């Protein structure tokens, strides 16, 4: 079978790479499209054979225009003979597959991205979703019934099961193994579902400032998402560690003592690596993250003082819940291949 994977943003790259490898090992041919912002992580993963098709706006109007333009561009770039599309809520790819008559399979684990869900779910032929998301949360977006395939576990398990940390990551960042390492990551502010982006960023900056003022042994690696954040953070150079260029975030998380982040993917990666994690997000939490917090696998706070109290208290997460999560790789692959 010839299978098209569309990487619409960097957070999807490891997952789609892992699924692509599984499919390739079973004899299927893989064709990959991606957006330019995914290039750093694709290089890190050793991805070489992919086609860049850009298109992503900075607000709802430009997103609507550029999504349709990207769909049109994809139509002209997809080779003949593709049997199936698999993506993570890529609306442009779903629209293009419809125009090309290609059967599409969509993976979703963010039921809060309302416009994206509405358009993506109704364009897909099949929807794959973790069982941790109630089926009713997906069905509320559907105009007509769609096949919904529930799978166990989290998508991050598909690539973490073979993960081996790179030992040189600390040396690269100038962090000693004896330091208290805290990794901080803001939310993806250009996502259509993001809310209170600047407020969230300021909370995380406040956390960093307070820790650096009170704990001289702490090392904080803050991984900005956008150029304006890099410019703002220059005033803290010498105190905060702000990586430049592509970064192996999984290895960094592996060696961290704490992770404080607003992004869903990094939070789940940290939790699955059994790292104490504080989710700091001022919008509506997705169902999976709510479940992880309720189970005690992660902490939640949007107050800088409380976040610091959590980090420096004796409180520790419980990972009993995630230990029982089954790797969904096989279920996802079978769902992609089945009619």
58-91 per-position pLDDT tens digit = 555 566 678 889 999 999 999 999 999 999 999 9
Cα 44 to Cα 55: distance, rounded to the nearest angstrom: 22
Residue with tokens 């909370």: 203
Confidence at 193, pLDDT banded by 50, 70, 90: very low
For the ranges 13-17, 65-69, 312-316, the lowest mean pLDDT is seen at 65-69
Between residues 263 and 257, the one the model is more confident about: 257
Strand partners, 34: 7, 52
Residue 239: the pLDDT is: 78
For residue 273, CA distances in Å to 156, 166, 217, 229, 251 come to 10, 14, 24, 27, 10
* pLDDT at residue 306 tops 90: yes
Residue 56: the pLDDT is: 60
CA angle, corner 54, sides to 48 and 60, nearest 5?
Answer: 140
Classify the C-alpha dihedral 46-51-52-57 as positive or negative.
negative
Cα 20 to Cα 72: distance, rounded to the nearest angstrom: 24
For residue 71, CA distances in Å to 74, 119, 123, 286 come to 5, 13, 12, 27
* pLDDT at residue 330 tops 80: yes
Question: How is residue 184 written in tokens?
Answer: 């901080």
Phi first, then psi, for residue 280 (nearest 5°) are: -120, 95
For residue 264, CA distances in Å to 47, 83, 152, 275 come to 23, 31, 18, 15
Cα 336 to Cα 297: distance, rounded to the nearest angstrom: 30
Among 159, 167, 108, which Cα is nearest to 133's? 108
DSSP 241: B
Cβ-in-10-Å burial (0-12, 13-18, 19+) of 215 comes to middle
What value does the mean pLDDT take over residues 314-334? 96
Cα 127 to Cα 142: distance, rounded to the nearest angstrom: 11
Residue 235: the pLDDT is: 73
What value does the mean pLDDT take over residues 25-49? 92
Between residues 34 and 246, the one the model is more confident about: 34
Residue 190: the pLDDT is: 56
DSSP 234: G
Residue with tokens 């039921």: 111
Start-end of CATH 3.40.50.2000 domains in the chain: 2-151, 169-323
Phi first, then psi, for residue 8 (nearest 5°) are: -85, -20
Confidence at 192, pLDDT banded by 50, 70, 90: very low
* pLDDT at residue 303 tops 80: yes
169-323: CATH superfamily: Glycogen Phosphorylase B; (3.40.50.2000)
Question: How is residue 276 written in tokens?
Answer: 């104490």
* pLDDT at residue 339 tops 80: yes
Residue 58: the pLDDT is: 55
Please check whether residue 255 is in contact with residue 235, taking contact to mean a CB–CB distance below 8 angstroms: no
Between residues 291 and 200, the one the model is more confident about: 291
Confidence at 129, pLDDT banded by 50, 70, 90: very high
CATH of 2-151, one of 1.10.230.10, 3.60.21.70, 3.90.1170.50, 3.40.50.2000: 3.40.50.2000
What value does the mean pLDDT take over residues 245-271? 94
Q: At how many degrees (to 10) do helices 13-25 and 329-337 cross?
A: 70
CA–centroid distance for 113 within its chain: 13
For residue 14, CA distances in Å to 20, 79, 162, 276, 328 come to 10, 24, 11, 22, 14
């Amino acid at each position: 079978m010839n299978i098209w994977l569309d990487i619409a943003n960097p957070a999807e790259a490891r997952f789609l790479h892992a699924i692509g490898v599984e499919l390739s090992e079973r004899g299927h041919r893989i064709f990959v499209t991606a957006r330019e912002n995914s290039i750093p992580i694709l290089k890190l993963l050793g991805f070489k054979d992919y086609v860049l098709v850009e298109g992503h706006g900075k607000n709802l109007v430009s997103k609507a225009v550029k999504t349709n333009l990207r769909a049109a561009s994809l139509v002209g770039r997809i080779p003949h003979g593709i049997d199936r599309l698999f993506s993570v809520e890529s609306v442009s790819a779903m629209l293009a597959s419809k125009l090309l008559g290609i059967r599409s399979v969509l993976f979703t684990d963010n039921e809060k991205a309302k416009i994206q869900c509405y358009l993506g779910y109704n364009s897909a032929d099949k929807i794959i979703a973790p069982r941790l998301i109630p089926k009713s949360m997906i069905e509320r977006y559907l105009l007509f019934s769609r096949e919904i395939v529930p799978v166990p576990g989290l998508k991050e398990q598909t690539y973490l099961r073979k993960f081996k940390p790179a030992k040189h990551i600390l040396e690269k960042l100038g962090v000693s193994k004896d330091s208290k390492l805290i990794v901080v990551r803001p939310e993806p502010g250009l996502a259509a579902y993001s809310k209170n982006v600047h407020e969230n960023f300021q909370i995380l900056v406040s956390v960093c400032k307070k820790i650096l003022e009170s704990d001289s042994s702490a090392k904080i690696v803050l991984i900005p998402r956008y150029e304006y954040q890099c410019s703002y953070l220059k005033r803290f150079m010498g105190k905060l560690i702000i990586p430049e260029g592509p970064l192996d975030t999984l290895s960094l998380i592996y060696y961290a003592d704490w992770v404080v982040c607003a992004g869903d993917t990094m939070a789940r990666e940290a939790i699955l690596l059994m790292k104490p994690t504080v989710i700091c997000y001022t919008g509506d939490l997705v169902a999976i993250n709510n479940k992880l917090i309720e189970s005690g696998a992660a902490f939640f706070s949007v107050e800088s003082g409380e976040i610091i109290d959590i980090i420096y208290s004796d409180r520790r997460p419980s990972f009993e819940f995630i230990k029982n999560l089954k790797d969904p790789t096989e279920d996802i692959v079978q769902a992609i291949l089945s009619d």
